[in-house]
Amino acid sequence: MTARERRSLSLDGLRDRRGAEMAYLSALKILTKTQEDLKRAVAGQMALMQTAVPGAQESLYVLGPSGTGKSTAVLEAAFRVYRDSLEKHGQVGVTDPVLEVPGWSHDLIPVIWANIRSDASGKAAVGQIRSFLLDGEPRGTAWQITNELPKVLPRHGVSLVVLDDVHNLGTRGKNAEEVLMTLKNLQTDLGLLRIAFVYLGNADSKTGEYNLSLHDQLSQRLIPYQVDHFDLDQRDDSAPQNVAWVDYLLQWEEALVHLLPDLQRGDLAAKAGFKLWTMTKGSPGALIGILKRYTRDLLLDEPPRSLGVDRSRLLATPATFKYSSIGRGQ
């Protein structure tokens, strides 16, 4: 529907149309090739755990700066694990899925996701996992809570545990050894239960180091998986990284044409591609924030303007754009 056609709608018609468009825009998600590869890596880890001999196992350690879409990709993989588990246990479509075995039943919770809080201790980290399953504040030491988890996790059918923002762990102070040994012990327990374990984290802003890699014992059980922003070669338009950036913008053009029918092929990729990269430094999260805000504001215009791309308006976002201004998870 063009801007001209939208102007001919009644107020009720425009309201209904706009509601559907905003819902589509909100749910719209296009993963980069790197994110798709990461999804497959998590799926591969899940498959490996299903046939692994119970014991100490390696865990995926997803590394990279904010805005690369690490969490988004792993969350997509986690949703697949969740859906597969519901299907396996005959709980698809059930509002409160339950894992039933002879003698007892518990809530079915296939995936645990914990976002680590700033400067978290070992107790806080394992406590967040426990709190995901049980109400109330965890009691006891980090050692006691870690020892309790192997008894609790199987009752809920847990098959994947994800710790996001592990850079927030208190691994620089006097309690660093306690924090890292708690994770090492937990990882051993999860391996015995054949539960996959995935870490996500950023590098230290000062040293560029990844905190879990600094521990001799824990680092030997990690599979590093690097995720980065799009790069750009300003000397060679045909460079592979440039082609990848253009291809990603073309995917967004194809998705947004449902909302912006006046959008022309190349408006983003050819005309605005370099400026968008400069503004976002190649961050998929930052790019998505810009495109979604721009499209949302255009759809909310009264009266509707041309539903294409106004370069001056799209690129009016300050050059000092910060990813934090749109929030994480875009």
pLDDT number for residue 47: 95
Q: What is the mean pLDDT of the chain?
A: 87
pLDDT at 328 over 60: no
- Residue 27's CB is within 10 A of a number of other CB atoms, namely 7
The answer to whether 277 and 286 have CB atoms below 8 angstroms apart is no
Total tally of structural domains belonging to the chain: 2
Looking at the domain assignment, is residue 270 inside a domain? yes
Q: Is residue 156 part of a domain?
A: yes
Pairing of strands 98-101, 104-107: antiparallel
Q: Which domain holds residue 245?
A: 3-11+22-30+231-325
Are 278 and 192 found together in one domain? Answer: no
Cα(64)–Cα(73) distance, integer angstroms: 13
Split at pLDDT 50, 70, 90, the class of 324 is very low
Do both 199 and 239 map to the same domain? no
* Domain finish residue from 172, 201, 226: 226
Asked whether residue 70 is assigned to any structural domain, the reply reads yes
Residues 252, 106 within the same domain: no
Helix (H) or strand (E) holding 226: strand 222-226
| 13 vs 293, residue with greater confidence | 293
Residues 206 and 89 in one domain: yes
Answer with the one of 162, 192, 226 that is the final residue of a domain: 226
Do 294 and 263 belong together in one domain?
A: yes
Give the bridge partners for 63, in sequence order: 201, 226
pLDDT of residue 169 exceeding 50, the answer is yes
Tell me which of 203, 226, 249 is where a domain ends.
226
Average pLDDT over residues 32-54: 95
CB atoms within 10 A of CB 29: 12
- Calculate what percentage of the chain has a pLDDT beyond 90: 55
Confidence class for position 317, pLDDT limits 50, 70, 90: very low
Say how many C-beta atoms besides its own lie within 10 A of residue 143's C-beta. Answer: 15
Whether residue 330 lies inside any domain: the answer is no
Per the listing, tokens 């910060």 go with 322
Looking at the structure, do residues 69 and 144 belong to the same domain, yes or no?
Answer: yes
